[in-house]
């Protein structure tokens, strides 16, 4: 079993598809992952399952891989209900989670923006470029840079989960370049394709960060590191000033007023 | 059972389940003197830029691994929010530790009894009055020395 624990998850799932189905039951969605190079042992550890759940999961995985092996069934206290673990964040990580909220508000508006662009006689270039500006300045420069320059430095940058996050950021930047090109050319289909792709990517990306990556990093941080990270994030925020987050919150409120009112009309 | 939970008589001397080991000597992790919050100066070198443990007096006696698990690597100040006088001075000292000593973090360790939460309140008020902001963690120790919770507040 130790041998399998050190294998990449994609390889394990390809060889034993049942493992993918079992992981899925526990909310561990490795099957659709495009990379899949996390090791099985890390995949299980990173999700911070209840000890009872983890013991049962490992038993089921081992039985799926070695059906003939006499694997001792874990003793599960049926009276002790496994409760979903409440996620708590350290203050600097909580700040990053809070920044996701504004980004998610834009993501929620993207289908409406896309509809508007599609149904307008001419592409509203100004609107599209303002959304791009929010994504490039607030989501990418203000938020993602704190992740890349500060948060991710506290864990092994070569860890697969971190590499996936970097890849997501790059893929997102690629989609936004395409959106800008579409806006310049007045190509509605190009804008639609890449704004929606960005929305799908970031929705999954933020979910992974809020529920898995950030709690995993938080569990590894010492008190001293939390204090350091808090200071570094505050310094990074101070370097751009208070006005920047306020400006982009105002932009989102304006966008919500424009599009959500149209929907309710 | 009535009266103040902080001074109610409880005897758990019959408690038999003792996890852990008695082997080996545990060195003290204390790296400073004095430690009482009225006696310490926020300008003391051992506070500058450090992680600080603000401990309610009883916690070190209640929690067996106090030195190893919580004091190690930190500077300390101790106080009793129930019995100590002039507690407004405490708020000013916390503010000064944050602004002047530029401490990195503040961990407040208290007992589970209601009066002990006054120490966490002192820490919060000190932080509110300070210009700098730092993370504060609260640890609650049960009467029998178990850790009931540990969270950033």
Q: B3 φ, ψ to 5°?
A: 90, -175
How far apart (Å, rounded) are the C-alpha atoms in residues A171 and A182? 17
Q: How far apart are the first and last CA of chain A?
A: 60
Question: CB contact, 8 Å: B99 with chain A?
Answer: no
Measured CA to CA, the distance from residue B37 to residue B79 in angstroms comes to 6
Give the SS3 label for residue B75: strand
A226 has a chain B CB within 8 A of its CB: yes
Mean pLDDT over A208-217 rounds to 91
Q: Which residues of A touch B107 (CB under 8 A)?
A: 223
> B45 at the A interface (CB within 8 A)?
no
Residue A48 pLDDT greater than 80, yes or no: no
Flag whether residue B72 sits within 8 Å of chain A, measured between CB atoms: no
pTM over 0.95: no
Q: Is B138 on the interface with A (CB under 8 A)?
A: no
From CA B127, how far away is CA A88, in angstroms rounded? 21
Partners of B36 in the beta sheet?
B78
Separation CA A236–CA A145 (nearest Å) = 9
Q: Are the beta carbons of A223 and B151 separated by less than 8 Å?
A: no
C-alpha B29/C-alpha B44 separation (Å) is 18
CB contact under 8 A, B105 and A88: no
Tell me, rounded to whole angstroms, the distance of Cα A135 from its chain centroid: 15
Tokens of B98: 């944050």
* pLDDT-derived band at A37, boundaries 50, 70, 90: low
Q: B12 in contact with A at a CB cutoff of 8 Å?
A: no
pLDDT at A38 over 80: no
pLDDT at residue B38, rounded to an integer: 97
Q: Is some CB atom of chain A closer than 8 A to the CB atom of B152?
A: yes
Answer whether B104 sits within 8 Å of A228, measured CB to CB: yes
Predicted pLDDT of residue B2: 61
Task: Let me know if A97 is exposed, middle or buried by CB neighbors in 10 A (0-12, 13-18, 19+).
Answer: middle
For residue A222, what are the contacts with CB-CB under 8 A and spacing of at least 6?
none
Residues 6 or more apart whose CB falls under 8 angstroms from that of A136 comprise A176
Burial of A71 (0-12, 13-18, 19+ CB in 10 A): middle
CA-CA distance, A18 to A65, in Å (whole number)? Answer: 8
Around Cβ B124, how many Cβ atoms within 10 Å?
17
Shortest distance, CA B137 to any CA of chain A (angstroms): 9
What residues have CB less than 8 Å from B23, skipping those under 6 apart?
Answer: none
Rounded to whole angstroms, how far apart are CA atoms A176 and A190?
Answer: 11
The rounded radius of gyration (Å) of the Cα atoms in chain A is: 22
Please give the structure tokens belonging to residue B71. Answer: 């004091």
- Beta carbons within 10 angstroms of residue A9's beta carbon: 25
Q: Does B105 touch chain A (CB under 8 A)?
A: yes
Q: What local confidence, expressed as pLDDT, does residue A76 receive? A: 64
Q: What percent of chain B has pLDDT over 70?
A: 96
- A236 close contact with B: CB closer than 8 A: no
Task: Please indicate whether, in this complex, the C-beta atoms of B135 and A228 are within 8 angstroms of each other.
Answer: no
A-chain CB neighbours of B135 within 8 Å are 90-92, 226-227, 230
Please give the Cα distance from B121 to B106 (Å, whole number).
13
Q: Spell B1-20 as b/e; 16+ CB within 10 A means b.
A: eeeeebeeeeeeeeeeeeee
Measured CA to CA, the distance from residue B84 to residue A234 in angstroms comes to 35
Residue A245 has pLDDT above 90, yes or no: yes
Q: Which two tokens stand for residue A187?
A: 């190509």
- List average pLDDT for each run of 10 residues in chain B, which is 153 residues long: 76 72 85 97 97 98 96 98 96 98 98 96 98 98 95 93
Residue A228, chain B, CB below 8 Å: the answer is: yes
* Percent of chain A with pLDDT strictly greater than 70: 91
Contact flag A90-B135 (C-beta cutoff 8 Å): yes
- pLDDT for residue A58: 85
Other beta carbons within 10 angstroms of residue A150's beta carbon come to: 19
State the best of A217, A231, A237 to mutate against chain B, taking most chain B CBs within 10 Å. A231
When CB atoms are compared, the residue of B73, B74, B152 closest to A91 is B152
Single out the residue of A212, A246, A263 nearest to residue A93, CA to CA.
A212
Q: What is the DSSP letter of A42?
A: H
Is B104 in contact with A231 (Cβ distance < 8 A)? yes
Residue A249 has pLDDT above 70, yes or no: yes
Strand B147-152 and strand B136-141: the pairing is antiparallel
Q: Is A79 on the interface with B (CB under 8 A)?
A: no
Highest mean pLDDT range out of A62-76, A150-164, A204-218, A219-233? A219-233
Mean pLDDT, residues A128-139 taken together: 97
CB-nearest to A223 from B133, B137, B151 is B137
Cβ-nearest to B105 among A88, A227, A234: A227
Closest to B60 measured CA to CA, from B49, B71, B72: B71
Q: Hey, are the CB atoms on A88 and B73 less than 8 Å from each other?
A: no
The C-alpha of A91 sits at a distance from chain B's nearest C-alpha, in angstroms, of: 6
């Amino acid at each position: 079993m130790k041998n399998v624990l050190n294998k990449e998850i994609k390889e394990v799932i390809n060889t034993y598809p049942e493992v993918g189905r079992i992981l899925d039951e526990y909310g561990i969605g490795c099957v659709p992952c495009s990379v899949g190079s996390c090791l099985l042992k890390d995949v299980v550890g990173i999700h911070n399952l209840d000890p009872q759940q983890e013991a049962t999961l490992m038993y089921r995985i081992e039985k799926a891989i070695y059906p003939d092996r006499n694997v001792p069934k874990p003793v599960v206290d049926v009276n002790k209900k496994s409760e979903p673990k409440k996620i708590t964040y350290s203050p600097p990580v909580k700040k990053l989670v809070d920044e996701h909220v504004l980004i998610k508000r834009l993501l929620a508006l993207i289908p409406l923006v896309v509809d508007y662009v599609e149904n307008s006689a001419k592409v509203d270039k100004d609107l599209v470029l303002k959304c791009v500006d929010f994504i490039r300045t607030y989501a990418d420069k203000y938020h993602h840079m704190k992740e890349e320059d500060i948060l991710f430095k506290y864990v092994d940058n070569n860890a697969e989960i971190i590499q996936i996050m970097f890849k997501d950021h790059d893929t997102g930047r690629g989609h936004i370049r395409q959106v800008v090109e579409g806006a310049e050319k007045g190509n509605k289909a190009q804008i639609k394709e890449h704004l929606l792709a960005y929305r799908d990517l970031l929705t999954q990306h933020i979910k992974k960060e809020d529920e898995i990556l950030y709690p995993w990093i938080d569990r590894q941080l010492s008190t001293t590191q939390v204090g350091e990270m808090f200071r570094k994030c505050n310094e990074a925020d101070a370097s751009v000033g208070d006005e920047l987050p306020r400006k982009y919150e105002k932009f989102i409120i304006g966008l919500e007023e424009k599009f959500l009112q149209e929907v309710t009309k | 059972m009535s009266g103040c939970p902080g001074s109610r008589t409880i005897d758990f001397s019959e408690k038999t389940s003792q996890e852990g080991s008695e082997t080996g000597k545990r060195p003290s992790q204390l790296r400073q003197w004095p430690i009482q919050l009225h006696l310490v100066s926020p300008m003391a070198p051992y506070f500058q830029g450090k992680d600080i443990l603000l401990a309610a007096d009883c916690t070190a006696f209640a929690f067996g691994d106090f030195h190893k698990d919580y004091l190690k690597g930190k500077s300390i100040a101790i106080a009793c929010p129930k019995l100590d006088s002039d507690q407004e001075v405490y708020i000013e000292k916390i503010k000064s530790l944050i602004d002047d000593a530029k401490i990195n973090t503040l961990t407040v360790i208290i007992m589970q009894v209601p009066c002990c939460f006054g120490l966490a309140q002192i820490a919060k008020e000190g932080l509110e009055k300070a210009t700098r902001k730092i993370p504060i963690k609260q640890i609650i120790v049960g009467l029998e020395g178990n850790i009931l919770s540990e969270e950033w507040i």
